[in-house]
Amino acid sequence: MVSGAAWPLRWWLILVGSVLTAVIVAGGLTVSGRGAPTDPAAGGAAGAASLRLAGLSVTDRRPERSDYQRAAFGAAWTDAVTVTGGGNGCDTRNDVLARDLVDVRRAVLDSCPDAVVAGEFRSPYTGEFIVFRRDRRPGAVQIDHIVPLAYAWDMGAWAWPQTARMNLANDPANLVAADAASNLTKSDQAPAEWMPPNRGFHCQYVTQFVMVMAAYQLPVDRRSRDVMAQVLRSCGA
């Protein structure tokens, strides 16, 4: 069983790696979801995120477009992308399960030759302990887009080439395994409307949100900017 303190350290390592490895690739801007871990302390990653947040363009409000379609971001969890994990022979959902779950069991499936068929984790959004079984309610564990695709669409992704949108939808820096209830409640809400119920994950969540927005050069709505700035000021205190 994963301990209650296991996921925060792992996530800080991932987030600091993302801070260090933001890169531009053909077809769009991406953030590598993994990188050489350095200081896992909250202050380092949150400080970098604060600087990135200050550099984001800000809109007075989210322009709510009526033409969003999930299909504009490509087939769900496609491996045909240029972000970290793309082209490795496994679908993106399985890549994230392999990264976020512990005590995993694997098997050969059509979607991945080394697929995760069982494991466990604590949802970072609630702290709830969840056992994952692919043959029993696999939907209890969902993969959430930290920056919701509909939000990205409204903030400018509608004008991107599809390759860039596909990268965002499958970029491991923008993905996290979470409990189904939180993912459904969050829907496409930005930080001004929704934050994880688990306050202990706020620093990680905001850091990840900011770094993805910065790497993909998306603006942020003013209310969400203010909410995230307040969270980051408290990180590492």
| DSSP β-bridge partners for residue 106 | 116
Task: Measure the CA–CA gap between 162 and 58, rounded to whole angstroms.
Answer: 24
Task: Measure the CA–CA gap between 14 and 201, rounded to whole angstroms.
Answer: 14
- Sequence-ordered alpha helix ranges (H) in the chain: 6-20, 42-55, 92-100, 149-154, 162-170, 180-186, 202-215, 222-234
Query: What average pLDDT does this structure show over 183-196?
Result: 98
For tokens 């953030």, what's the residue? 31
Task: Measure the CA–CA gap between 124 and 197, rounded to whole angstroms.
Answer: 9
For 10-64, the DSSP string reads: HHHHHHHHHHHTEEEETTEEEE-S-------SHHHHHHHHHHHHHHS-EESS---
Q: What is the pLDDT of residue 30?
A: 41
DSSP class of residue 136?
A: B
pTM: 0.85
Query: What average pLDDT does this structure show over 23-35?
Result: 37
For tokens 């969270």, what's the residue? 231
What mean pLDDT value characterizes the chain?
A: 87
- For the chain, the C-alpha Rg in angstroms (whole number) is 17
Binned at pLDDT 50, 70 and 90, residue 10 comes out as low
Does position 12 have pLDDT exceeding 90, yes or no? no
For tokens 């939907």, what's the residue? 139
Q: What is the pLDDT of residue 6?
A: 44
Query: What average pLDDT does this structure show over 182-202?
Result: 97
Say if residues 141 and 120 touch (Cβ distance below 8 Å).
Answer: no
Task: Measure the CA–CA gap between 108 and 30, rounded to whole angstroms.
Answer: 29
Does position 119 have pLDDT exceeding 60, yes or no? yes
Q: What is the pLDDT of residue 51?
A: 96
**C-alpha separations of 165 from 16, 157, 160, 170, 220 in Å:** 24, 7, 7, 9, 17
